[in-house]
Amino acid sequence: MPSFSTETCPLRKKYSLWFTILKLALLFICLAFPFMAGNYYLRFAIVLFIYIIVSIGYDISSGYCGMLTLSAAAIFGAGAYASAITVTTLKMPFLVGMLVAMVVTGLISFLISLPAYKVKGNYLALISLGILEIVQRILNDWTSLTHGAAGFFLPPWSIFGMNLTDYAKYYVIFFFLILIMLFEWGLIKSHWGRDFIAVKNDEIAASGVGINNRKFKVIALLISSMIIGVAGSLYASYSEFISPDTFGFYLTIFILLTVVIGGTGTLSGPAIGVTIVMIIPEFFNASPDLKQIVFGGLLIILTQVMPGGITGRIKERFRAIDDNRHIENLGDRPPISFEKYRVNADGPENILEVKNLTRRFGGLTAVGNLDLEVKRGTVHSLIGPNGAGKTTTVNLITGIDKPSEGSVIFNGEDITGMEPFDLVKRGIARTYQHVRLFKDLRVIDNVAMGGRIYYTYGLAGAIFHSRKKRKEEKEAYLEAYDCLKLIGLESKSNFDPGSLSTGQQKLVEIARALCEKPKLMVLDEPCAGLNETEVEELSEIIKKIRDVGITVLMIEHHMSIVMGISDYITVIDYGKKIAEGTTAEVSVDPVVRKAYLGEEVTAC
Partner 1 sequence: MQQLIFGLANGSIYALMALAIGMVSSTTGIVNFAHASVVMMGAMVSWWMMVIYGLSYIPALFVAIAVSIVLNIVMYETCVKKLGDLQDNVGWIITLFGASIILDNIARMLFGTEPQAFPYLFGGKMVTFFGANIMLHELMMITIAVVIGVVYQTIIKKTRFGRAVRAVAFRPATSELMGIKSEKIILSCFAMAGAVAAIGGALIAPITFASYTMTYSIGLKGFAAAVLGGFGNTKGAFIGGFILGLIEAFISIFVPAGIKDSISFVIMIIVIIFLPEGIMSAKFFNRNLSAAEKV
- Residues in contact with partner 1 by CB under 8 A are 66, 68, 70, 111, 114-115, 118-123, 125-127, 129-131, 133-134, 137-138, 140-141, 204, 249-250, 253, 256, 260, 289-290, 292-293, 295-300, 303-304, 307, 361-362, 366, 391-392, 395, 400-401, 432-434, 524
Instruction: State how far the Cα of 603 lies from the Cα of 35, in Å rounded to an integer.
Output: 95
CB of residue 68 to partner 1, shortest distance in Å:
5
Handedness of CA 464, 218, 65, 96 (dihedral sign): negative
Residue with Cβ nearer partner 1 (150 or 293): 293
Tell me the closest approach of the beta carbon of residue 173 to partner 1, in angstroms: 29
Are 273 and 59 a contacting pair, CB within 8 Å?
no
Whether residue 519 contacts residue 550, with contact meaning beta carbons closer than 8 Å, is answered with yes
Question: 359: which strand partners?
Answer: 367
Q: What letter does residue 135 receive in the DSSP assignment?
A: H
544: which residues sit within 8 A by CB, 6+ positions away? Answer: 338
CB of 247 to partner 1, least distance (A): 15
The smaller minimum CB distance to partner 1, of residues 46 and 437, is found at 437
Nearer to partner 1, 137 or 325 (CB): 137
| Minimum CB–partner distance for residue 130 and partner 1 (Å) | 4
CA atoms within 13 A on the CB side of 600: 1
Confirm if 383 and 558 have CB atoms less than 8 A apart.
no
Nearer to partner 1, 121 or 412 (CB): 121
| Shortest distance, position 418 Cβ to partner 1, whole Å | 15
Distance CA 1, CA 603 (A): 55
Whole-Å CA distances, 429 to 28, 378, 383, 423, 500: 50, 15, 19, 8, 22
- The residue length of the chain stands at 604
Residue 394 Cβ, how far from partner 1 at the closest point, in Å? 9
- φ, ψ (nearest 5 deg) of residue 209: -105, 10
Look at residues 202, 10, 229 and name the one whose alpha carbon lies nearest to residue 99: 229
Residue 408 C-beta: closest distance to partner 1, Å: 15
Residue 524, beta-bridge partner list: 555
Is the distance from CB of 362 to CB of 536 less than 8 angstroms? no
Closest approach of Cβ 600 to partner 1, in Å? 30
Judged by beta carbon, residue 125 or residue 159, the one nearer partner 1 is: 125
CA 577 – CA 405 distance, rounded (Å):
16
With H, G, I as helix, E, B as strand and everything else as coil, classify residue 13.
helix
Buried-exposed string 328-351: b where 16+ CB fall within 10 A, e elsewhere: eeeeeeeebebeebebeeeeeebb
Q: How far is the CB of 430 from partner 1 (least distance, A)?
A: 10
Min CB(347)–partner 1 separation in Å? 28
Contact 151, 242 (CB under 8 A): yes
CB-nearer residue toward partner 1: 163 or 303: 303
Using CA atoms, how far apart are residues 299 and 295, in angstroms rounded to an integer? 6
CA distance readout (Å), 487 to 139, 447, 516? 59, 11, 15
* Residue number with CB closer to partner 1 (62 or 212): 62
Cβ atoms within 10 A of the Cβ of 39, count? 9
Closer CB to partner 1, residue 289 or residue 600? 289
User: What's the min distance (Å) between Cβ of 260 and partner 1?
Assistant: 6
Q: Beta partners for 582?
A: 568
Q: Tell me the C-alpha distance between 218 and 222, whole Å.
A: 6
3-class secondary-structure state, position 213: helix
**Residue 526, SS3?**
coil
Asked if 515 and 480 count as a contact pair (C-beta separation under 8 A), the reply is yes
Residue 172 or residue 256: which is nearer to partner 1 going by CB? Answer: 256
Quote the least distance from Cβ 406 to partner 1, whole Å: 16
Of 390, 376, 373, 338, residue with least CA distance to 556: 390
* Distance of closest approach, residue 513 Cβ to partner 1, in angstroms: 15
Report the chain's terminal Cα–Cα distance, integer Å.
Answer: 52
State the nearest-atom distance from the C-beta of 19 to partner 1, in Å: 29
**In the bound complex, what is the minimum distance in angstroms from residue 302's beta carbon to partner 1?**
9
Distance CA 440, CA 417 (A): 30
Nearest-angstrom CA–CA distance, 527 and 507: 10
By beta-carbon proximity to partner 1, the closer residue of 136 and 239 is 136
Beta bridge partners of 576: 573
| DSSP structural state of residue 267 | S
Q: Which is nearer to partner 1, 331 or 362 (CB)?
A: 362
CB atoms within 10 A of CB 40: 8
